Amino acid sequence: MSDAPQPSDVAPPAAAEPWVSEPEYRQGAIDLLGILAYGALAAFDRLAADARLAPTLPDKVHVASMAALQIKHFESVRARLAELDTDVMEAMKPFHVPFNEFHAHTKPKDWLEGLVLAYVGNGFAADFYREVAAFVDADTRTVVYQVLADEGHADFVVEKVRAAIGADPRVAGRLALWGRRLVGEALSQAQRVAADRDALTHLLTGTVDRPGMDLAAISRMFSRLVETHTRRMGTLGLQA
C-alpha cells in the first residue's frame, strides 16, 4: 500500500539531460541526497528507540527491521554521492540542525505516537522529496525513489493504530492532534531548509534549459501534499 502522490506537473527531462553539469543543478542534487542521507540516520535513531517501546516481541522485531532498512538507504545514498565525487558527511552537514530540531520537537511519548510519526510525519516529508526528485537526473532520481519506497511498512502502522483505536476510541483524538502537529513541524522544517539552501528551490523552479515548475504548479504541488496527508490520516482512522 502506498499513499505517495503522483506528480502531475512534471515535464520529463530531456533524454540527454545536458544540464547535469550546471554547478547550481549539481549542488541542488547533492543537497537532496544529503537530506535523504541524514534523514535516514535520524529515522534509524527514532525507530530504534520506538522498537524499545513496542508492546510485543513481534512488534519489536518489525520496527527494528524498519530501523535496519534505514541504514541500507543511507548506504545507497552514500554510493550515489560518491559517484558525484561528494563525501556523504559533507553533504549532510547543512541539515544537522533542522533535522535535529524537528526530532527534538516531535519526540513521541509512546508507541502509538512513534508509529504515527513514522507514517504521517516522515510520509509528508517523503512526498515532498519525491516531488523534488522529478527534476533531478535519472540516476539520482532512481536512488531517491528507491530510498523513499514504502516496502509494506505502512500496512503495519495502519493495522496497529486502527487496532488501538478499536480498543479505545479515545486514542483517536490524541493521535489526530499529534498528526496535525507533525505536519506543522514538517512544513516549518521544509521552510527553514529552503530558506538556507537556494539550490534546492532552484531544482523545483528550473531554468531556461532545465525543466521546472512555475508558481501555479508549485501551488498545485502543495495541494497534492496536503491531500495525500489527509488521505493518510483517514487511512489511520484519524481526522486531519
Confidence of residue 14 (pLDDT cuts 50, 70, 90): very low
Q: Is the residue at 76 inside a domain? A: yes
Q: Across the chain, how many H-helices and E-strands are there?
A: 11, 0
- What integer pLDDT is reported at residue 12 of this predicted model? 46
Number of neighbours of residue 16 by Cβ within 10 angstroms: 7
pLDDT at 36 over 50: yes
- What integer pLDDT is reported at residue 188 of this predicted model? 81
Q: Is the residue at 78 inside a domain? A: yes
- What integer pLDDT is reported at residue 77 of this predicted model? 97
- What integer pLDDT is reported at residue 34 of this predicted model? 96
- What integer pLDDT is reported at residue 225 of this predicted model? 87
Pairwise pLDDT comparison (132 vs 38), residue with the higher score: 38
Q: Is the residue at 214 inside a domain? A: yes
Q: Percentage of residues in the chain with pLDDT exceeding 70?
A: 92
Select from 103, 89, 144, 127 the least CA-distant residue to 3.
Answer: 127
Q: Is the residue at 114 inside a domain? A: yes
Do residues 162 and 236 touch, judged by C-beta distance below 8 A? yes
- What integer pLDDT is reported at residue 208 of this predicted model? 59
Q: What is the Cα–Cα distance from 193 to 189, expressed in whole angstroms?
A: 6
- What integer pLDDT is reported at residue 117 of this predicted model? 92
Q: Is the residue at 160 inside a domain? A: yes
Predicted confidence (pLDDT) per residue in 158-210, tens digit = 999 999 999 999 999 999 999 999 988 888 887 777 777 888 888 878 775 67
User: Whole-prediction pTM value?
Assistant: 0.85
- What integer pLDDT is reported at residue 226 of this predicted model? 86
Cα 31–77–142 angle (5° rounding)? Answer: 90
- What integer pLDDT is reported at residue 131 of this predicted model? 87
Pairwise pLDDT comparison (240 vs 94), residue with the higher score: 94
Give the three-state DSSP class for 148: coil
Q: What is the Cα–Cα distance from 118 to 122, expressed in whole angstroms?
A: 5
CATH number of the domain residue 45 falls in: 1.20.1260.10
Measured distance between the N- and C-terminal CA atoms of the chain, rounded to whole angstroms: 19
- What integer pLDDT is reported at residue 32 of this predicted model? 94
What mean pLDDT comes out for the span 58-75? Answer: 94
Q: What is the mean pLDDT of the chain?
A: 86
Predicted confidence (pLDDT) per residue in 137-161, tens digit = 999 999 999 999 877 789 999 999 9
Q: What is the Cα–Cα distance from 153 to 120, expressed in whole angstroms?
A: 12
Q: What range does the domain containing 122 cover?
A: 18-236
- Please give the tally of structural domains in the chain: 1
Q: Is the residue at 10 inside a domain? A: no
Q: Is the residue at 67 inside a domain? A: yes
Q: Percentage of residues in the chain with pLDDT exceeding 90?
A: 51
Pairwise pLDDT comparison (113 vs 102), residue with the higher score: 113
pLDDT at 15 over 50: no
Q: Is the residue at 69 inside a domain? A: yes
Q: Which three cell numbers stand for residue 135?
A: 527534476
Q: Which three cell numbers stand for residue 104?
A: 527534538
Predicted confidence (pLDDT) per residue in 77-104, tens digit = 999 999 999 999 999 999 998 888 888 8
pLDDT at 1 over 50: no
Q: What is the Cα–Cα distance from 40 to 54, expressed in whole angstroms?
A: 21
